[in-house]
Structure 1
Amino acid sequence: MLEDDLAKLFGLNLKMARLKRNIKQEDLCAMANLDRSYLSRVERGKNKLTLDKVYALAAALDCPLSELLPEIRGVKCN
């Protein structure tokens, strides 16, 4: 899977989690200390996040990381 595909899938998962909780982009940005234009690019798969921002978003949404992270089939962890 390409990095761009992962970014798009993460962005879609993030947007769905946000909408599921009826949270506006502006409100999520305030809760996660992010710029709204940055969050918009993330939701569209245009920006890649650092791990600290992923955790901040999960905490702000009060959701497990697994809800945001794309599932990758065929990847084995040792």
Structure 2
Amino acid sequence: MSDPHLDILGQRIRERRRTLGMSQEELAHVAALDRSYVGRVERGEHNLTVVSLIKLCRALRCDIATLGQGLPVGQPTVLD
């Protein structure tokens, strides 16, 4: 079962890519990532690193805040 945050983020990445008329392969090339990685991200199957998220945002010509806007945020937890 995937994380709902990753599902939403992946959907937004896919929507932005399609809006720009890019294929997954084109996005992967511009972002210097593997096409299969982009596919897994769009399906919410992969937890992105910050670096990968920045690469995708640059390739999609948007900022991280745009993709993350309105994502549900839970209460912070204290770790021992």
TM-score by length of 2: 0.82
Kindly tell me the number of residue pairs found equivalent between the two proteins.
Answer: 74
Quick check: 2:9–2:68 contact (8 Å CA) kept in 1?
Answer: yes
1:74–1:9 distance in 2 versus 1, CA, 3 Å: closer
Structure 2 spans left out of the alignment, 5+ residues: 76-80
- Aligned-pair CA distance for 1:65: 1.5
Deviation above 6 Å: which 4+ runs of structure 1? none
2:45 corresponds to 1:46? yes
Gaps of 5+ in 1: none
Match of 1:27 in 2: 26
Which structure would you say has the larger RCO, counting Cα contacts within 8 Å and 6 or more residues apart? 1
Percent identity of the aligned residues?
Answer: 32
Q: CA RMSD in A?
A: 1.8
Distance 1:13 1:45 in 2: 10
